[in-house]
């Protein structure tokens, strides 16, 4: 087992070399084995489903084995992301306790095994799920397992998360120290029903809001089978002539005239049976011969173990970028797990499929990065169905969930922040949960990489004005929000409120987000103690993103860092779905 050591944590993987003269078969292999000798062990895991991602639960580990795993193939994290938190000796908190946090950098099936023996020692085995993943190694061939990335903290979950966030921004996340673009997506405004005029009108909305980019989502391609729903067209990456007679180039030009960027949605690993690609290349599709095909979301997965398919998938991006070099962003989706598990390409080596599929994906992404090194891309998978630190070598950000209800997003963003930094989490303002004000929705989304997916015609002038000002404020505070150290102050899991703050590296600026979700009548409210500040400096507190009503009582006042961290601020109230954003500046 080989280690790469950073001050924030460690990376482990295994290299298995066949030194024999004949081929050997690997049936079980792992990236790492950690042996722990503590009095007790408490495993925090995250599970869910589409639009219900990363629900947190904690279990004490006793004698025996507990396994966290996936066998879904392409959309491997749909039910459970590939990370965990382990409290040692006693349940940890955000600020106290010994914690080990681990995650596997592999965009496919994984397995974590936790085994407590009769002496109360714990072994943690991490790696690719060996299910249907045997390997044949030729003489002299070496098989390298994925990276297992882990960190250890004696100061609770919070410090462990900050360790990983800092490491990711500096060493793993694509353009981890660079900027991120705000955007307006057309999906909720149009779904599949649009034409050039409607899209250009939405670009005008993007200008009104003041975002950086307009993103065209699903539904722009296919001619024999136009993409008017998710039942057809997937795989035929040519513009639908009835929708886009002047093609994508016209949209790029219209965006440029308005001073914004243009981005586009693709799902290049997938195919609808009702498509020209399927009719011409059924041998490119993962499917069982002589069996009825099973469709997940009306589609099948292309066989990326096949080099011809890799060329095709790379060509989807390459053709668009060659024809329209003005494209500034791709949203790369992946809506189906692998079903009908059989590769026409691999023939007698079917057990290589799960691993070779992922390796084929990495080959494609490596080619894209080599030719278009500065191209930002979003990692999407019907929401949070595919997230890991190997994929994030190639993607600047990921889409945590299709569920954009701001209340639900407080939980979802909290869960993913245990491992992934705010800079990597796309957070969009949408029409989900109309009981929440536009301010509440914007404030929740401003804790990540801010975007909008909303019909501006549903907003009045005051709401548009608020959004525009909030985006300007977000752009000013981005260096703190996206690159600062995150401190999770109040968990939504623990009551009716939530609070998170980000502090810059010099501890001279901070941004604090506070939310009243569903407070009880006459609930006893306590001040919130801040973290991460310099106790010897004084900070002026200013409430930003205001939209009517009274500011918090602390607005405009100056406090010592020691006061803020030991006494705290009165951030919460008794009103439903209320939010506050505070900017703290050292004087």
**CA atoms of 110 and 400, how far apart (whole Å):** 19
- The count of other CB atoms within 10 Å of the CB of residue 238 is 15
pLDDT of res. 250: 98
Identify the CA nearest to 109 among candidates 142, 85, 132, 86.
132
Q: Is 348 exposed, middle or buried (0-12, 13-18, 19+ CB in 10 A)?
A: exposed
pLDDT tens digits for 37-59? Answer: 999 999 999 999 999 999 999 99
Residues 266, 186 contacting (CB under 8 angstroms) = no
Q: Please give the residue range of the domain that contains residue 82.
A: 2-172
Task: Give how far Cα 9 sits from Cα of 146, 158, 171, 421, 547, Å.
Answer: 16, 14, 12, 15, 42
| Distance, first Cα to last Cα, the chain | 49
Residue 308 located in a structural domain: no
pLDDT of res. 3: 66
Instruction: Using the predicted structure, report yes or no on whether residue 5 has a pLDDT greater than 90.
Output: no
**CA atoms of 561 and 584, how far apart (whole Å):** 10
Task: Give how far Cα 269 sits from Cα of 151, 314, 361, 380, Å.
Answer: 33, 10, 9, 12
CA angle 545, 181, 453 (to 5 degrees): 70
Instruction: Give the mean model confidence (pLDDT) for residues 448-465.
Output: 97
The helix/strand/coil state of 151 is: strand
CA dihedral sign, ordered 344, 345, 346, 348? positive
pLDDT of res. 495: 87
pLDDT of res. 8: 77
Q: Which of 172, 190, 214 is the last residue of a domain?
A: 172
Instruction: Using the predicted structure, report yes or no on whether residue 7 has a pLDDT greater than 90.
Output: no
pLDDT of res. 419: 98
Identify the CA nearest to 477 among candidates 519, 422, 436, 408.
422
Is 402 designated active site? yes
- Single out the catalytic residue among 205, 333, 443, 504: 333
Residue 28 located in a structural domain: yes
**Which uninterrupted H or E stretch holds 308?**
helix 307-323
Task: Give how far Cα 80 sits from Cα of 53, 56, 429, Å.
Answer: 8, 10, 25
- The count of other CB atoms within 10 Å of the CB of residue 226 is 18
Concatenated DSSP letters of 334-358: ------S---TTTTT-GGGHHHHHH
Query: 260: Cβ–Cβ under 8 A, 6 or more apart, which residues?
Result: 203, 206, 207, 211, 212, 213, 214
Residue 441 located in a structural domain: no
**CA atoms of 443 and 253, how far apart (whole Å):** 32
pLDDT tens digits for 71-119? Answer: 999 999 999 999 999 999 999 999 999 999 999 999 999 999 999 999 9
Residue 504 located in a structural domain: yes
The answer to whether the pTM exceeds 0.85 is yes
Exposure string of 364-397, with b = 16+ CB inside 10 Å and e = fewer, is: bbebbbeebeebbbbbbbbbbbbbbbbbbbbbbb
pLDDT tens digits for 411-436? Answer: 999 999 999 999 999 999 999 999 99
CA angle 505, 507, 508 (to 5 degrees): 115
Strand intervals (E) in 250-302: 261-266, 270-271, 300-301
Residue 325 located in a structural domain: no
Instruction: Using the predicted structure, report yes or no on whether residue 481 has a pLDDT greater than 70.
Output: yes
**CA atoms of 350 and 347, how far apart (whole Å):** 6
Residue 304 located in a structural domain: no
Task: Give how far Cα 387 sits from Cα of 34, 77, 236, 384, Å.
Answer: 23, 7, 26, 7
Is 374 designated active site? no
- The count of other CB atoms within 10 Å of the CB of residue 523 is 13
CA dihedral sign, ordered 389, 392, 394, 400? positive
pLDDT tens digits for 482-498? Answer: 999 999 999 999 989 99
Residues facing residue 58 across a β-bridge: 44
Residues 106, 112 contacting (CB under 8 angstroms) = no
pLDDT of res. 338: 97
Number of H helices, E strands in the chain: 11, 31
Q: Which of 172, 203, 222 is the last residue of a domain?
A: 172
Instruction: Give the mean model confidence (pLDDT) for residues 346-364.
Output: 96
Residue 199 located in a structural domain: no
| Per-residue confidence band for 512, with pLDDT thresholds at 50, 70 and 90 | very high
Instruction: Give the mean model confidence (pLDDT) for residues 26-39.
Output: 96
pLDDT of res. 4: 76
Q: What is the mean pLDDT of the chain?
A: 97
Identify the CA nearest to 84 among candidates 168, 149, 26, 1.
149
**CA atoms of 302 and 293, how far apart (whole Å):** 13
Instruction: Using the predicted structure, report yes or no on whether residue 1 has a pLDDT greater than 70.
Output: no
**CA atoms of 353 and 533, how far apart (whole Å):** 50
CA 166 from chain center: how many Å?
Answer: 16
**CA atoms of 83 and 78, how far apart (whole Å):** 13
**CATH for 16:** 2.70.98.60
Backbone angles phi, psi at 387, to 5 degrees: -145, 125
**CA atoms of 3 and 149, how far apart (whole Å):** 10
| Per-residue confidence band for 343, with pLDDT thresholds at 50, 70 and 90 | very high
Number of structural domains in the chain: 2
Residues facing residue 150 across a β-bridge: 10, 102
Instruction: Using the predicted structure, report yes or no on whether residue 290 has a pLDDT greater than 90.
Output: no
Query: 305: Cβ–Cβ under 8 A, 6 or more apart, which residues?
Result: 343, 345, 346, 352, 353, 356, 357, 359, 360
- Single out the catalytic residue among 147, 217, 218, 402: 402
pLDDT tens digits for 224-268? Answer: 999 999 999 999 999 999 999 999 999 999 999 999 999 999 999
| Per-residue confidence band for 510, with pLDDT thresholds at 50, 70 and 90 | very high
Instruction: Using the predicted structure, report yes or no on whether residue 136 has a pLDDT greater than 80.
Output: yes
Concatenated DSSP letters of 496-564: SEEEEEEE-TTSSEEEEEEEE-SPPTT----PBPP-S--TTSEEEEEEES--SSPPPTTTT-EEEHHHH
pLDDT tens digits for 366-395? Answer: 999 999 999 999 999 999 999 999 999 999
Residue 356 located in a structural domain: no
Backbone angles phi, psi at 277, to 5 degrees: -60, -45
**Which uninterrupted H or E stretch holds 208?**
helix 196-209
**CA atoms of 203 and 403, how far apart (whole Å):** 24
Instruction: Using the predicted structure, report yes or no on whether residue 471 has a pLDDT greater than 90.
Output: yes
Q: Which of 120, 145, 172 is the last residue of a domain?
A: 172
**CA atoms of 375 and 321, how far apart (whole Å):** 10
Residues 400, 429 contacting (CB under 8 angstroms) = no
**CATH for 568:** 2.60.40.1180
Backbone angles phi, psi at 494, to 5 degrees: -100, 5
Identify the CA nearest to 406 among candidates 477, 342, 498.
498
């Amino acid at each position: 087992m080989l280690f790469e050591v950073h001050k924030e944590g460690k990376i482990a993987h295994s290299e298995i070399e066949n030194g024999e003269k004949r081929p050997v078969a690997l049936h079980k292999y792992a990236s790492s084995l950690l042996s722990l000798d503590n009095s007790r062990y408490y495993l925090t895991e995250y599970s869910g489903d589409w639009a219900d991602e990363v629900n947190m639960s904690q279990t004490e580990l006793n004698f025996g084995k507990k396994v966290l795993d996936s066998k879904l193939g392409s959309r491997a994290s749909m039910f459970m992301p590939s990370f965990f938190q382990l409290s040692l000796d006693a349940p940890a908190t955000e600020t106290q306790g010994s914690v080990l946090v681990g995650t596997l950098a592999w965009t496919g099936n994984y397995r974590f095994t936790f085994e407590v023996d009769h002496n109360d020692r714990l072994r943690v085995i991490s790696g690719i799920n060996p299910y249907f993943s045997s390997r044949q190694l030729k003489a002299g061939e070496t098989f390298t397992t994925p990276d297992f990335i882990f960190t250890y903290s004696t100061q609770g979950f919070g410090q462990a998360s900050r360790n990983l966030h800092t490491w990711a921004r500096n060493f793993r996340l694509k353009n981890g120290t660079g900027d991120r673009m705000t955007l307006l997506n057309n999906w909720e405004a149009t779904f599949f029903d649009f034409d050039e005029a409607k899209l250009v009108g939405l670009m005008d909305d993007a200008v009104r809001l003041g975002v950086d980019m307009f993103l065209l989502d699903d539904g722009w391609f296919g001619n024999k089978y136009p993409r008017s729903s998710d039942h057809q067209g997937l795989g035929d990456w040519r513009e639908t002539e009835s929708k886009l007679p002047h093609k994508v180039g016209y949209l790029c030009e219209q965006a440029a005239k308005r001073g914004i960027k243009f981005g586009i949605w693709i799902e290049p690993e997938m195919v609808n049976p009702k498509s020209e690609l399927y009719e011409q290349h059924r041998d490119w599709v993962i499917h069982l011969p002589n069996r009825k095909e099973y469709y997940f979301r009306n589609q099948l997965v292309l066989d990326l173990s096949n080099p011809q398919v890799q060329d095709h998938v790379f060509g989807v991006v390459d053709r668009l970028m060659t024809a329209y070099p003005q494209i500034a962003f791709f949203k790369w989706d992946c809506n189906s797990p692998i079903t009908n598990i059989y590769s026409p390409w691999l023939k007698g080596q079917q057990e290589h499929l799960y691993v070779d599929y992922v390796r084929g994906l990495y080959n494609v992404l490596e080619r894209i990065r080599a030719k278009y090194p500065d191209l930002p891309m979003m990692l999407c998978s019907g929401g949070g169905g595919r997230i890991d630190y190997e994929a994030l070598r190639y993607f600047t950000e990921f889409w945590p969930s299709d569920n954009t209800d701001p209340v639900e997003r407080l939980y979802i963003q909290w869960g993913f922040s245990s491992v992934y930094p705010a800079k990597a989490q796309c957070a969009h303002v949408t029409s989900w949960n109309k009981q929440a004000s536009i301010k509440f929705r914007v404030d929740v989304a401003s804790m990540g990489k801010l975007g909008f997916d909303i019909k501006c015609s549903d907003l009045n002038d005051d709401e548009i004005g608020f959004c525009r000002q909030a985006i300007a404020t977000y752009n000013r505070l981005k260096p703190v929000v996206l690159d600062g150290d995150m401190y999770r102050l109040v968990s939504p899991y623990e009551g009716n409120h939530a609070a998170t703050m980000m502090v810059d590296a010099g501890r001279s600026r901070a941004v604090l987000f506070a939310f009243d979700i569903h407070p009880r009548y006459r609930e006893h409210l306590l001040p919130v103690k801040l973290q991460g500040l310099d106790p010897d400096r004084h900070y002026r507190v200013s409430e930003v993103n205001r939209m009517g009503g009274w500011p918090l009582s602390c607005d405009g006042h100056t406090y010592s860092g020691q006061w803020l961290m030991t006494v705290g601020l009165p951030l919460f109230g008794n009103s439903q779905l209320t939010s506050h954003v505070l900017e703290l500046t050292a004087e």
